[in-house]
Structure 1
Amino acid sequence: MGKRIVIRAGSVVAEAELNETETAKRIYEALPIQSKANRWGDEVYFSIPVECPPENQHEVVNFGDLGYWVPGSAFCIFFGPTPASRSPDEIRPASPVNVFGKIVGDPTVFRSVKDGDTVIVEPAPQ
């Protein structure tokens, strides 16, 4: 079982579980992180002060996945189709991402997050 984090974005509070990748380790070690949310279809993303090389990259991700977008040093939360998706049930990032975790529970709560909302990511209470 991986480490857990709490993501606060606007009025949303959600927990996520990280996997055992180097990307997940680097992001966890950088917590807490505060940034500003951006929306791209059913994706919330925000830049973070963490650099990771490509690892465990996926061109298509699963509902609730957390991805790290290497070109923009961005933390991405996927909860539905994006403008790059080729079908209504495909979740396609702008370019491949390092998948480093998954939202626990219903990721569609992130639909209420707006561009510019403050995002805070921190370790979950033990």
Structure 2
Amino acid sequence: MKKIRLHVNQHHLHGILYDTPAGRAIWENLPVTAKGNTWGEEIYFSIDADVKMEKGTEIVEEGDLCYWPPGSAFCIFYGQTPASLEGEIRPASAVEVVGKITDDVEVLKQVNGLPKVMVARE
């Protein structure tokens, strides 16, 4: 596992990237700074990484860090999205889980608008 730090507006969080091909591909492209988009309780932004989907999933957990192939996007899930059913967190379509936030993600529920996001190696 590789340690990372995430800055979302004024919020600072720690996380890990898994030692998988997808996690390593993203690690090699850090740091990344972007203007994020939100979709329910998900923040996402495009990244320039050669990530292959190996174990795509359509249900994720709070704090999961994922790659979404259709948008070449890095995704931070911290709650339900518009596609979620009761008690689940559902991306727009299948994602590759590449890591996890290790801090409490509740602070991300305060994020409004288009957040400024930075992901870097720790």
User: Which TM-score band (shorter chain)?
Assistant: over 0.9
Q: CA deviation at 1:9?
A: 1.1
**Structure 1 counterpart of 2:108, which letter?**
F
Does 2:119 align with 1:121? yes
Asked if 1:86 corresponds to 2:95, the answer is: no
Unaligned runs of 5+ in 1: none
**Aligned with 1:24: secondary structure?**
helix
Identity %: 44
**Counterpart among 93, 96, 111 of residue 94 in structure 2:** 96
Which has the higher mean CA deviation after the structures are superposed, 29-38 or 105-114?
Answer: 105-114
Partner of 2:42: 43
One-letter amino acid of the structure 1 residue matched with residue 61 of structure 2: N
| CA drift at 1:69 | 0.2
Q: How many residues align?
A: 122
Question: 1:25-63 deviations in whole A, cap 9, x for unaligned?
Answer: 011110111111111111111111113121221110011
Provide the TM-score with structure 2 as the length reference.
0.95
Q: Unaligned 5+ residue runs, structure 2?
A: none
Q: Does 1:8 align with 2:25?
A: no
**Range with greater deviation from structure 2 (50-59 or 93-102):** 50-59
* 2:33 partner amino acid: Q
Deviates more, 1:91-100 or 1:42-51: 42-51
Q: Is the 8 A contact 1:37 1:113 kept in 2?
A: no
The residue that corresponds to 1:105 in the other structure is: 103
Give the whole-Å Cα distance in 2 for the aligned partners of 1:51 and 1:30.
Answer: 9
